[in-house]
Amino acid sequence: MTTSQRPDATGPADVARDLAPTGVLRASINLGNPVLAQGSPDAPRGVTVDLAREVAARLGVPLELLCFDAARLSFEAMADGRADLCFLAVDPARATEVAFTAPYVVIEGVYVVPHDSPVRVADDVDRPGVRVGVKAGSAYDLHLSRTLAHAEVVRGAEGVEVFAADGLEAGAGIREPATAWVASHPGTRLVEDAFMQIRQAVGTPAGRSDAARRFLHDLVDELKADGFVAASLARSGQTAAVAPPA
């Protein structure tokens, strides 16, 4: 459910109360996306964890990290009021529940196919008889479910795993882990051009005040501009691109 818009906050303390109404900033972390978060629920790390800690520090409130293994679970925690902050791909299907900042990082959705597949570019996938494995509830599941006119989406725990297990014609995934997966699975290859740009942003429940939204928007822009996001990605061994200024 979408919360009604709250009265606009007027100062830092009001913004902190609005973004962390329980007195603790509850941040939803998706460990299912290794570009954004790594480690375990007990010891998560990565750019989203660093961003959550920075937001809490700027607000002057304690931080609680709620870790999930899929974006859809992270989104559900936000939608049902268990989380105050999330780190998800911007998508129209989520925008009714989540107010997003501008993106802080852009990652690419790519296809994996059998080595002898006739698919050479991403557009070749959208043909009758082609089945595409996707991670249920992921940004690329939402995107491909809207945009594929002929190919069939097949959902599972991981796009490349359902592709392999079910003998599908293609599997969808994020470039970095998909590239690593292909390297360890002979007989498969990556379709090099991306089928989508996945814009990862910071989100808060849609009913938060305009001032709270501005605070997050300005903070994300600052952390992109001053190298915070780039340094965090580098520390966690990730090569995804920092998003351009808003």
Residues of the chain with pLDDT under 70: 1-11
pLDDT digits (tens, 9 = 90+) for 57-115: 999 999 999 999 999 999 999 999 999 999 999 999 898 899 999 999 999 999 999 99
Determine the Cα–Cα distance for residues 141 and 30; give it in Å rounded to an integer: 16
pTM of the predicted model, to two decimals?
0.87
Give 103's contacts (C-beta < 8 A, 6+ positions apart). Answer: 90, 199, 200, 201, 243
Determine the Cα–Cα distance for residues 234 and 200; give it in Å rounded to an integer: 17
Q: What is the DSSP letter of 3?
A: P
Determine the Cα–Cα distance for residues 1 and 113; give it in Å rounded to an integer: 39
Determine the Cα–Cα distance for residues 37 and 232; give it in Å rounded to an integer: 11
The predicted structure's pLDDT at residue 27: 98
Would you give the distance in Å from CA 152 to the centre of its chain? 23
